[in-house]
Structure 1
Amino acid sequence: MNHDRLRLDLADLAGEVTPVDLRDRALRTSRRLGIQRAVATSAAAVVLLAAAAGTTLAVRPNGQAPTPAPAGPSITSSPSPVEVTPIPEPSASGPTEPTIQPSTSPAQPSSALAGTRYYLELADREAVIHAVRGDSDDVGARIPLAPDRCVANTITVSPDGKRLAWVQDTTDGMTGTLMTASTDGSGKRKLLTGVLCLGSNALVWQGGDRLMVQEGVVRSVLIDMVAGKPFDGDPGQETNRCWSADGRWLAAVSEGKPYVADENQLHSYHYDPPKDQAWKWDGWRARSVSMDGRYVSIGWVGTDPSRRDDSFTVVDTITSKVVKLPVAGTVKSIQFAADGTVLVRQGSRIVVLDSSFRRVGEVEEPQDVRAMTLLAYVP
């Protein structure tokens, strides 16, 4: 099937919605997913308590949690024009961030990032996961690559660093079998067939134990990665979904309208990408969400259905203003970590910022991983 035809057909599937529809849909989706998580967590707690008391309890598999009292959502819209700092023509390595407050300080020791960074290496015949912590580079899972590129286009690491997910064994070059394993390659399992492996971000994590996939070309499915099966219920029809590392805040788009929402709040925002670059791409999307839901990093969507992990700027979803980061030069990606740390990856270093975008330090990346994709950072 022609990939451009597929992308156009997908776009035509979207129905007309109003701003009220967008707000209600986003809040319903966030509340629905939140209730599902609450039910699962409550059920586990009941079982543990029963075991401690020596009592056997029967937990109904399809039990429903009590519906919480509705809370009036706090909605922030952005009617005023976006203030965007002009971005110069990008170099061959990708788009750049506005040149502000260049750093003259030397690189800090790797203790500026005390956690583990997970990188993806795409070799000739296999995808290799590298777990880098301090000066240590531990090689983990090795996943065979096929000519169809489904594995290379989908392999991803959960925000808690515990799981891998990818799609393999395609027969049509578009869909295949969803697989999971530990980041060291152990515990490999098949979860679901007919999962789409095309798109800039085909598999999207909601926290460390849930994964949003597309079954075929029209149906979204939320997978319980612990139980190894889909959750019951409708996960909604929002597109370009991306969650904060803890799975609380959802960034998504409905009928061209971007927003960030949790169970009670929704921030509509607007972003005008640099015109001298926008014509080269098929739009933009949020690639990472801050832990408080206020900020998103923005990356380009390619004109072909292949993965993209890069991002080049940060937008405040309350004010719709571009955040001026204390870095200069080409930016490869910007990631919000679970501890509030912001990782700004550049040519050979990672600039480390706190949650207020104040500079904490920087880490020089080992030569061997500089050309790899940084999939996740686990504090």
Structure 2
Amino acid sequence: MPQIDRPSHTGELRESGRQQVLETIRAQGAIARIDIARETGMSPATVTAISAELLEAGLIREVQPEAKPTTGKRGRPRVSLALRGDAHKIAGIKVAHSSITVLVIDFEGNELVDHDMPLVQARMEPEQLCNAIVTALEQCCRKGSIGLADISGLCVGMAGLVDATRNFVYWSSSLTSRNVDMGAHLGQHLNCAIFVENDANLVAKAEHLFGKGRDVSDFIVITIEHGVGMGVVIDDEIYRGTRGCGAEFGHTKVQLSGALCQCGQRGCLEAYVGDYALLREARLLSDEATPQSIGQLSAAAREGDALAGSILERAGRMFAMGLANIINIFDPELIIVSGTHSSMDYLLTPQVIEEMRQSVVQVDAPLPEVVQHSWGQLMWAKGAAAYAVEKVSAQCVRRLVLDAV
């Protein structure tokens, strides 16, 4: 096994301290050293030493206070610390069924440029997909007058079973091959830090930082698009499972020997709720022209089409069963149903919520709130970019510690 540089125990404490200071600055936007000490519990001297290292490394900058009228108080005004936006440029990438979306942000998290590139085919060999990702990134960088070499790191969000600790994809609906070292494949094309994560986890990250999960420590995000995904946040941290395959809500079983799922198994919830499953059923049961999108299927149901209505009604019943199972297992504070289209109303009708309520273990306490949040592909990329910023920050801090040894 190859040797990996690791800090000693003392180095780990130093790394943790520097990471704490950096993340405190990130959370506050601009904050004085004495306030960092108060937030972290570190001594002012320790904070001063760490901030000096971060300043020298070019990760943070001093922010001079605005000149104010004389108040009669003596002493110098406190100088605040803020992240240096130009320290790094980071890319977040979402690989969807029909497009690749790229967002480039700076080290402070400011959005610089975004781009959406259509895909000709939904499933590809690893090398094909890597070429498509690089092409989308190049197009985005060109659009923002950014050099590809200026990208310090990127995160790719993909549907499927992903081990984020290894950037390894066990299975994805975007790939024709299984067990793909996606990080290594992309590393042959790009000279920057590369991270690969399950896309639903990245939506949970985005919801936690920017969306309906802000200020909520325990919540669950269910993503509905081509397939069905889930991101779980427990104590403000994303739960991934031992192999990185935890929280696969779409592949929980709801019927023995049931409908075929795109993962290759039968009876998965996704095979009754995912976009492809509903459109597949419409094609199989109808002799007439069938809807080409969930929006068209929903419109047909609203106009009184009995077949469309029955397909959506069954999807709602299956979804209610799945929601009840989630509540019985996790008992979260909040469940966010997220997706890239706005035609998800059939999954959250009063009837669906009531069926969910009837299937939940009854206690004398309110049920978790279930809310809907519809957004475009950029939200996925935003979560990917936020994740990449965290990982690049951690790498920068680790290098500081190793250089000091």
Judge same fold: TM > 0.5, yes or no. Answer: no
State the structure with more CA Rg.
Answer: 2
Q: Give the structure with the larger helix fraction.
A: 2
**How does the TM-score come out when normalised to structure 2?**
0.27
Whose strand proportion is higher, 1 or 2? 1
TM-score (norm 1): 0.28
Which fold has the larger relative contact order, with Cα–Cα distance below 8 Å and residues 6 or more apart in sequence? 1
